[in-house]
A and B are shown apart, each in its own frame.
Chain A
């Protein structure tokens, strides 16, 4: 981490003593119990942990979908923890791009229109050009008019990535982006993320799969609402290499 810190002095995200508690019946559950994280521009971070560890709650707070019970969260130098619904909506629209496990595209709506949606809410004028450019970037330039039900799971997730990219956010947040996908499609999605990261886009992803975590540059492990480990990835897996292997195996299977 010191290596990363030396490159960039100013963190893009800075969480300090973030706590979140819910009341479940007569019990108070501390989903997050004092978490400190700094994320710098250009990073590719995996937030890992077993289910119930609080990683999703952390993701929601980072994504401004939920407010922490206490603590400080600076996004791009601005305190987010005390924003109202309108300011949060604006931050989600302009600074954050979401990718969900279940894709969460609007049904009966074309790929291009799905990608344009954040631009519509952002009142952008050039939304068609931006949406087309984003879809071309994820390799779906020829599927602009396809509805979600006409696309495979991997393609739907690529539309979702294009939607996250469309408004040029500071950071892309992905919540189990490969959770609903087969291994080949998972690798394809990870390849896209790695390429985007190589272009300088900051990515934070939640996953419980260690294999997927290996594709990132840094893993943060959460357990019981606390930070357990925060380490750089050694022997990083490059999706492009895995895909070459997988395709060779596939070809072998079929020629045999």
Chain B
């Protein structure tokens, strides 16, 4: 009996027991679907982080306020920096006021005095604001920035222009808006809003330009739901903070210069903040590089993937035991059939093969359904949830191979039991 013949017999048997087959396959289906989905999400997440880091550039440093122990997670902070609203939206509480804050003067000092290592510094102050345009209201993220912002943060203006140094010096009420803001205010992302007025916390601002869309960020946030205005305007007119900034981006002259830049900035800030050793324990600021964030994110993704893979493996093993169970029932039920087959010349090997093919057909079918579900789930997550998911073909192949293997492994015992039946006893079985 060749393999295709066996398969046909197996599939016919499975079809005549639809409900049972379905339930038997469930474990495998869940295991494979979870695996596919987890791998797709993991791959998607790390690809997005890599993309973000590549966009920002590897020679970017960020300086944050606050003692390390009380500081918000850098991941969440970077997320906030690249566009979304408050830090607390990530479920991380905003730390209490640190004794020393980064200031505009410090940013200026770093910009002016470390020319060898630092190309540009972009201090940023941010806050949630109410915006209105015509009759439409919304909340968005306001970032007060210097003119260095486009260069340091790899941002650009798609339409119109960025504000100038004189706007910054003069606390001008001008702004540059993200595409999502345009869409929220006018109902279409393509409306020409250049020169129009927008009210930020009830103060009239003139729109100078629209930012080039950046899309969804590494943590799923909308990077285009943002308004940029001169940092001085944000400090004095909107957020009312005196010269302290939330964080600064530092574009180094090269990747090689980053360690030196970090060291120079740290020493300067320690003196400036009157800190006592030991360092870095007593630092009230943190300096991170983009690659560091990338590594951290990847290790988080890796841990998640490992955990969920263990769940998937357990599910596959449980599914396999389910298959073994149902195959044992099937062998008992079909004892007489096995007897008939043996009487007319089936060898033990023929019987073994038949049951092995049957069990691996169940698990392979389960695997295929699982793959279909997993891929569908990934597509839905991507379409509806806006997640970045990548279905890796090699994970699909691996899922197929593993599910067939589960069928073979857990089919061996029932199949050898069938193969070892004595023909006469099998024929007498009622």
Point out residues on A near B: beta carbons under 8 Å: 60, 63, 65-66, 85-86, 89-90, 92-94, 98, 100, 104-108, 117-118, 120-123, 163, 167
Residue of B nearest to A104 (CB): B340
6 further contact pairs, Cβ within 8 A, besides A65-B343, A89-B342, A93-B346: A65-B423, A66-B422, A85-B347, A108-B12, A121-B346, A122-B345
Cβ of B336 within 8 Å of any chain A Cβ, yes or no, is yes
Cβ of B1 within 8 Å of any chain A Cβ, yes or no, is yes
Consensus secondary structure, chain B interface: helix
Point out residues on B near A: beta carbons under 8 Å: 1-2, 5, 12, 16, 336-337, 339-350, 422-424, 427
A117/B344 contact (C-beta < 8 A), A104-B336, A108-B16 known: yes
Contact A92 B349 (CB under 8 A): no
A98/B341 contact (C-beta < 8 A), A66-B424, A108-B12, A120-B5 known: no
Residue of B nearest to A108 (CB): B16
Partner of B347, one of A90, A117, A120: A90
Partner of B343, one of A85, A98, A120, A167: A98
Contact B344 A93 (CB under 8 A): yes
A121/B427 contact (C-beta < 8 A), A86-B349, A104-B336, A108-B12 known: no
| A191 to B2 alpha-carbon distance, docked (Å) | 36
A86/B347 contact (C-beta < 8 A), A106-B340, A117-B341 known: yes
A-B contact pairs, 13 of them (CB 8 A): A66-B423, A85-B347, A85-B348, A89-B342, A89-B345, A92-B342, A92-B343, A98-B343, A104-B339, A104-B427, A105-B340, A107-B337, A121-B350
| A89 to B350 alpha-carbon distance, docked (Å) | 10
| B16 proximity list for chain A (CB < 8 A) | 108
| B347 proximity list for chain A (CB < 8 A) | 85-86, 89-90, 121
| A85 proximity list for chain B (CB < 8 A) | 347-348
Residue of A nearest to B340 (CB): A104
A65/B424 contact (C-beta < 8 A), A104-B340, A120-B1 known: yes
Contact A118 B340 (CB under 8 A): no
Partner of A106, one of B337, B422, B423, B424: B337
Closest 7 pairs (CB-CB, A-B): A93-B345, A89-B347, A118-B344, A121-B345, A104-B340, A92-B345, A65-B423
| A123 to B2 alpha-carbon distance, docked (Å) | 8
| A98 proximity list for chain B (CB < 8 A) | 343-344
Instruction: Return A72 CB to nearest CB of chain B, in Å.
Output: 21
A118/B345 contact (C-beta < 8 A), A60-B424, A65-B423, A66-B424 known: yes
| A60 to B423 alpha-carbon distance, docked (Å) | 10
| B346 proximity list for chain A (CB < 8 A) | 89, 93, 121
Residue of A nearest to B343 (CB): A98
| A98 to B344 alpha-carbon distance, docked (Å) | 7
| A246 to B226 alpha-carbon distance, docked (Å) | 100
Contact A89 B340 (CB under 8 A): no
| B349 proximity list for chain A (CB < 8 A) | 86
